[in-house]
Structure 1
Amino acid sequence: MKKILYACCAAVFFILMLSGCDKAEPLPDEWKELKYAADTFTLEDAKREGYVVMEDGDVTCGQEAWQNFVDLSSKKIPCKIRVVHYYTLGDPSDYDPEYYESIKDDYPMMFILEVDYNGETFRVGNYEGEKLYTSEFKYLMKYEGESETPTSTFTSYVRYVLVNDDKVTWNDIMHGVTSSKLEDYIPFREIYADLVYKEGYK
């Protein structure tokens, strides 16, 4: 149940992050192929094409491709990669019936991100319908840690997050997300996560 709730929250959070992205009108030539993938690809297509796949907040495919992207970008070598974020609802019996009915038609959700590194900055883009959302960041940060809450479904994590300040921590980012003060928010995009789950949760 907790894992499913996390997936729902993560999907909603992903959508909210788009509100801070730049919006461009449809189909610049360099993004046309991404638009095609976003409109036509299934989860199986993405895996078959070698995309990095995140299912309900955790990587399930493409770990080697991701590490190659990390290695190249750390050497300031231009490179790009596609990362799928896929969210499901799971067992309907885990939800209040009325709430489940209100959200079931929105799932599964799938977002295809293209992350392009030009040797200096990272640009990430994804399509929502006919609109392309893009944002740029200076740094790809790796955050590792142990779960700090006893109710968490996982014991440890590795996260790769795009930010504009290489001094910020994951705790700084989470503080900004939960704070009621707008000035505490730190722009970021979480791209990749590898979670170690507690026994019985995966």
Structure 2
Amino acid sequence: MYTVIGRANSRATRVLWMLEELGEGYEHVPAAPQSEGVVSFNPAGKVPVLIEDGTPITDSTAIIQYLADKHGALTYPAGTLDRARQDSLTQFLLDEFDAALWMAARHSFVLPAELRQSAIKDSLIWEFTNSQKTLVHRMGDGPYLMGRNMTVPDIILTHCGIWAKFAKFPIHEARLSAYLERMVARSALAKVLSMMG
């Protein structure tokens, strides 16, 4: 049994969704970032945290890749060219999509008010838009990013797409919009999104 710490309206969505796709049982503790229940496992105060056998694992990408590897699903095997392509796509999404959304969040409500730069959002949206153009050239022919098989990058990109909608970062690429509509319709993700209340 796994324990997932973190509200469903955070990057914990990725971990909860992965566990739902895998059909694995878990306990969900919807703790807020920086709360005592989080800091005791992650001194940085960030969510999500996965607890397995008393051992905390932090960082959503590390967690979901660990779960995929452990259960042999939603990933290509380590040491294969397909896995190298998968990991490359994961890093691209973190660098180009997640990073822009997180920077916007930091300057909207995370940083102390006197350190926030509201004008930065315009440049981040510009970068986010350009990254979409690059991404559609990297998308596979199948329903998922890498083709016929759903993998870790699909969870990251879909979560970033949901986050972008809330942050008012527009999706301009029709192919990406269609992809996100398909992914958000997955029953495992719908269950997690219903936890947001």
- TM-score normalised by L of structure 1: 0.23
**Bigger proportion of residues as helix:** 2
Q: When you count strand as a share of all residues, which structure comes out higher?
A: 1
Normalised to the residue count of structure 2, the TM-score between the two structures is 0.24
